[in-house]
Amino acid sequence: MKKNQTLKIVLISVGLAIFVDIFFARFIAAKLSTWPLLNRFQILNPQAPIVINTKEEVRVSETGDVIKTVNAVKSKISAVILKNDDRFAQVGTALNLTSDGLFLTLDSAIGEKQASQFLVKMDNGKSAEVAEIIKDPTTDLVVLRTTFSGVNVAELGESSQLVVGEKMILLSASLLDYAIRFQDAYVSTSQQESGLSQVSSDFPTRAYILDSKQADLPGQVVVNFKNKIVGIRDSKTLVSSDVIKNFVSRLLAEGDKISRPVFGFEYKTVSGVETLVFGMPSGAEVIKVNAGGPAQKTGLRAGDVITSVSAEGISAENPLETILEKYKPGDEIKLGIVRKEEVLELILAVGQLK
């Protein structure tokens, strides 16, 4: 009986020793040894490695980025003001286009009114009368010429690089000095995707689509978080920065009278699915040929697929609209055509918009 009791005592003692060694010496002591007092005098010497876990919550806020973007751009847009007797009313926002007093807005802010009826008021409170209104015949873009000099000019970005889900800031100028109105928006359809719809060869239309509220006033600018303008809009129209750039280059090259080319057909970009599933060539499918236009005169037909213009290939990255913008009235271009299974080349004489 004594032997059995002795054996039990020994087994229990061994078990307790193992338990204490594992859970105290290896783990509990490791935790206690991190206490400043015990660690200082090295009272405990744990066998297990000491691992200190800390949990830190990091909160990321876009508020700071929005404020930086608004502050960086607000001095580069101005208010368009209509004078009516002794009263003044803001009718739109304008983009500061050049340092010598050109401002860009949309036709919906101007209508058929005369230049003398308008003022442009900059963010710093200075205002000047509009001396001339220059309208683009193929877009809703309008340039207001003033006597300003030393204007803080906005920088245009690449609207073709915007991606679905990207956040934008929409800015509108104010009658109040150093004041501005803004809201946020998101790209819901990219420029490449929206280009798959039917468009005219004679009217620049490439643009992305925003998921946003209705525009505040005509001329509201779209800004990315690189502080660059990527579009200008009203409640119905959004003109992308890529279209604006082409317009500005023509304006600066040709002066007040902008000549726009005419090609005379409507088309849609061939999608990757149509190429993969139906074997259509990459390019632009002609949907309609305008009667009496350059395209009809050169023999272009509905159903033709334009694959190149003067040996420059058409693709999603290099759309037909971008290529056609390079030409002016009087130019001749070579259209690479696939008509059913036949490969053709047509020479088109570019006309001029009347």
pLDDT in tens, 288-298: 999 999 999 99
13/74 same-domain check? no
Residue 238 inside a domain? The answer is yes
| CA dihedral angle for residue 302, residue 305, residue 310, residue 314, rounded to 10 degrees | 130
Residue 169 inside a domain? The answer is yes
8/102 same-domain check? no
Show the DSSP H helices in the chain as ranges.
2-19, 29-32, 36-41, 63-73, 107-110, 191-194, 241-254, 272-278, 294-298, 320-324
List C-alpha distances in Å: 229 to 42, 90, 157, 207, 272: 64, 21, 6, 13, 30
Please, are residues 268 and 198 in contact by the beta-carbon 8 Å criterion? yes
229/336 same-domain check? no
User: What does the pLDDT look like over 38-61, one tens digit per residue?
Assistant: 454 455 555 444 444 444 444 445
Distance CA 174, CA 179 (A): 6
217/76 same-domain check? yes
89/124 same-domain check? yes
174/307 same-domain check? no
Say how many domains are in the chain.
3
Is the four-CA dihedral 43, 46, 50, 55 of positive or negative sign? negative
Residue 131 inside a domain? The answer is yes
Residue 192 inside a domain? The answer is yes
Residue 54 inside a domain? The answer is no
Residue ranges making up the domain that contains 15: 2-41
84/125 same-domain check? yes
Please, are residues 78 and 103 in contact by the beta-carbon 8 Å criterion? yes
Query: Residue 31 above 80 pLDDT?
Result: no
CATH number of residue 79's parent domain: 2.40.10.120
190/334 same-domain check? no
68/205 same-domain check? yes
Among candidate residues 229, 258, 287, the one where a domain is terminated: 258
203/343 same-domain check? no
Q: What is the DSSP letter of 178?
A: T
Among candidate residues 242, 258, 274, the one where a domain is terminated: 258
Residue 48 inside a domain? The answer is no
List C-alpha distances in Å: 245 to 10, 69, 311: 91, 21, 24
265/243 same-domain check? no
Q: How confident is the model at residue 3 (pLDDT cuts 50, 70, 90)?
A: low
Please, are residues 189 and 247 in contact by the beta-carbon 8 Å criterion? no
Residue 348 inside a domain? The answer is yes
128/242 same-domain check? yes
- The per-residue pLDDT for 271 is 83
Average pLDDT over residues 264-272: 92
Instruction: Quickly count helices (H) and strands (E) in the chain.
Output: 10, 22
Q: State pTM to two decimals.
A: 0.77
Residue 218 inside a domain? The answer is yes
